[in-house]
A and B are shown apart, each in its own frame.
Chain A
Amino acid sequence: MNHDNNPFSGGRILKMLFLAAVTVAVVYPVLWVVKMALTPSQGFDASASPLPSNPDLSNFVYLFKETDFLRWLLNSSVVSATTTLLGVFLACTAAYALSRFRFPLRASAMMMFLIQQMFPGVLMMVPLYIIVDNLGLLDQLLGLTLVYATTAIPFCVWMLKGYFDTIPRDLEEAALMDGATPAMIFWRIMLPLSLPAVAVTALFSFMTAWNEFILAAIFMNSSEHYTLPVGLKTMVGQFSTEWGHFAAGAILVSIPVVALFFALQKQLVGGLTAGGVKG
């Protein structure tokens, strides 16, 4: 028996204290945002208490009644969902090809994807602006979707390729012997087995699009085309900030991401390939 079985041992108490401190550090700012969202005044309450004094929902009501919040929500949803579908589909097919087929420039393609990830996104702002402008897609959701998808794809490809590499080739050869075409193998063997990686990739693509601010702020000029982050920013004025509205909006923005996390939680835990081959 080791000393850790004693709930009051010194090591255990230290560990608990440390974990408690970390938990407070993580949760406190979130509680603060909740407090601001539930406090009707738009000022910045500097008191240390994370609990609101006179809570009500007026900030949320304001968002829905007085602003284009629903419109922005719809825009963000459309852009993020399309980005996710497009990004994941293209990344899956590309990653499969890079993982399984040998063709000229294969290694260089992987390297290009990686190098591109090394530059800060802002660097691409000007060229992207020009390209999107030339395509006539400025101030349009489609333009933004295309930009998001292309920026998300390199990471997704690396992520998925790494996962595909771990799926034994025997499985594909068995399917080949069973009479499957390469397309069938991809759809019916590889993809179902890669769900954990696909889930991570989807979540990443979704969050990239959902939270992105700078590109959206530059490409989108009219209020009815704003995505949520850009819309929320309108509440931060040059001379004053509507903290209450801003906090309420921030909470609403984070709900879908949290929901998505919970929905994909099962897939995010891997281990689906266990038992297929020996072991």
Chain B
Amino acid sequence: MASVQLEKVFKRFGDNAVVRDVNLDIEDGDFVVLVGPSGCGKSTTLRMIAGLEEISEGNLKIGGKVVNNLSPRDRDVAMVFQSYALYPHMTVRENISFGLKLRKMDAAEIDARVKNASGILGLDEYLERKPKALSGGQRQRVAMGRAIVRQPAVFLFDEPLSNLDAKLRVQMRAEIAKLHQQLGITTIYVTHDQVEAMTLAKHIVVMSMGLVQQVGAPLELYRRPANLFVAGFIGSPAMNFFDVEVKEEGGVPVMKGEGVSVRVPERFRSLLGEKGRKLVLGVRPEHMHEATEGETDVVVGTVDVLEPLGAEVHALGKVAGSDLTARLEPDTKVQVGDTVRIGVALDELHIFDRSTGRSLLEGVS
């Protein structure tokens, strides 16, 4: 059990910095998910924590101690790989106990730990099998067992579920969450799947292009994304963005764009700066509805595709040049090809500066 700190960490390959100025403070027992699109530097960051990549600049501390120059085996961390990376020539038992044997642990203690881990993971009947005789989910469990028996200070997971089918993924996700609750070991988990991030994490670190975009609890990120990238990445379906400018209409500031006219809610008015500032209005699909007759805060668009999901209908289309995704009631009368007026929930708006991409609502509750 240990805390993990990254202080101004960089990773460069030649002149190319793939991880830039990453600062993270991960508390003991935390479950942190690094999430971002491929190539964002999340896996490299994890591998630096593991000791599989050198740190080009900055400090990595585990349990308060700088470990930059320690080899993986001296860092007391265990890692689960995306490919599972089980030793094909060893049985499940040998796979799980390999790390303990290397540490010259007492045989009885090894047995007890393997038994305990296989019990937790439901591997008891597979201990004498080779990995090739196991299914994907079972292999994944063996990989986790190999990490658990070590009782490390920190668990590292590198996209552990991406090779599993959808159903198994949901099941293993729950098991990983349960495991963390049981063991309480500091966990750092890398994924490109924002649903995995939202469901597992105590804290999410959103990364893009080697930079940390935002750190926060899942709901914080959902409610107050710090910039356009986080806003578009967290939440499914993704947030709608409309280019707008603030204009005055009857003494009230209104965000106007092609097909968009939304009053600036009173509590945000002081944050928007001078009139005419180029902004991006963000509205999540779940904060949209078919507008009623008299409603004025609306976007007007055409519907190209309807996706009925049973409990709701996703209407996909265009508002002028921008994409539109709106979540409508299941009994909606909207048809493909219709021009629709979509109302937006004023309390749930997101407003960004168009040139910097930063949210203007940071710190607003």
A residues with CB within 8 A of B: 168, 170-171, 173-181, 184, 189, 192-193, 272-278
Contacts and interface: CB of A to CB of B under 8 A. Distances in A.
A276 B50 contact: no
Contact of B86 (A173, A177, A181, A277): A277
A184 B81 CA distance: 20
A277 B84 contact: yes
B85 A171 contact: yes
A276 B77 CA distance: 22
A177 B85 CA distance: 11
A199 B88 CA distance: 18
Contacts of B77: 177
20 contacts: A171-B85, A173-B52, A173-B79, A174-B79, A174-B86, A175-B98, A176-B52, A176-B73, A177-B52, A177-B99, A178-B98, A178-B99, A178-B102, A179-B102, A272-B89, A273-B88, A275-B130, A276-B131, A277-B83, A277-B85
Interface stretch (B132-140, B170-178, B251-259, B342-350): B132-140
Nearest to B164: A278
Contact of B134 (A171, A174, A275): A275
Given A177-B79, A178-B102, A184-B102, A170 B85 contact: yes
Contact of A278 (B51, B87, B99, B136): B136
B314 interface: no
Contact of A179 (B82, B99, B132): B99
A178 B152 CA distance: 10
B73 A171 contact: no
Given A193-B89, A278-B163, A178 B83 contact: no
Most B-side CB within 10 Å, residue of A168, A175, A274, A278: A278
B89 A175 contact: no
B146 interface: yes
A25 B280 CA distance: 82
A181 B99 CA distance: 11
Contact of B72 (A177, A184, A272): A177
A265 B131 CA distance: 23
B103 interface: yes
Contacts of A171: 85, 87-88
B123 to A, nearest CB: 15
B132 A173 contact: no
A278 B102 contact: no
B262 to A, nearest CB: 48
Interface in B87-143: 87-89, 98-99, 102-103, 130-134, 136, 139
Given A179-B72, A275-B86, 17 more contacts: A168-B83, A168-B85, A173-B79, A173-B81, A174-B81, A175-B98, A177-B73, A177-B78, A178-B98, A178-B102, A179-B103, A181-B73, A273-B88, A274-B88, A275-B132, A276-B84, A276-B132
A175 B132 CA distance: 18
A100 to B, nearest CB: 13
Contacts of A275: 86, 88, 130-134, 139
Contacts of B89: 192-193, 272
A184 B98 CA distance: 11
Nearest to B52: A173
Contacts of B78: 177
| Interface pairs A-B: 9 shortest CB-CB | A275-B132, A276-B88, A178-B99, A179-B73, A170-B85, A277-B83, A174-B85, A275-B131, A278-B163
Most A-side CB within 10 Å, residue of B71, B85, B131: B85
A173 B103 contact: no
A274 B136 CA distance: 13
A274 B139 CA distance: 13
Contacts of A184: 102
A262 B91 CA distance: 27
Contact of B73 (A180, A189, A193): A180
A104 B71 CA distance: 24
Contacts of A170: 81, 83, 85
A175 B133 CA distance: 21
B51 to A, nearest CB: 8
Contacts of B52: 173, 176-177
A180 B130 contact: no
Contacts of A179: 72-73, 99, 102-103
A176 B132 contact: no
A275 B134 CA distance: 8
B132 A278 contact: no
A274 B132 contact: yes
A168 to B, nearest CB: 6
A173 B103 CA distance: 17
Most B-side CB within 10 Å, residue of A170, A177, A273, A278: A177
A193 B86 CA distance: 12
Nearest to A181: B73
Interface string B261-284: 000000000000000000000000
B130 to A, nearest CB: 6
A278 B73 contact: no
A170 B150 CA distance: 18
Contacts of A189: 87
A177 B84 CA distance: 13
Contacts of B98: 175, 178, 180
B43 to A, nearest CB: 12
A274 B83 CA distance: 13
A184 B102 CA distance: 9
Contacts of A192: 89
Interface in B12-43: none
Contact of B102 (A173, A180, A272): A180
Contacts of B130: 275
B104 to A, nearest CB: 10
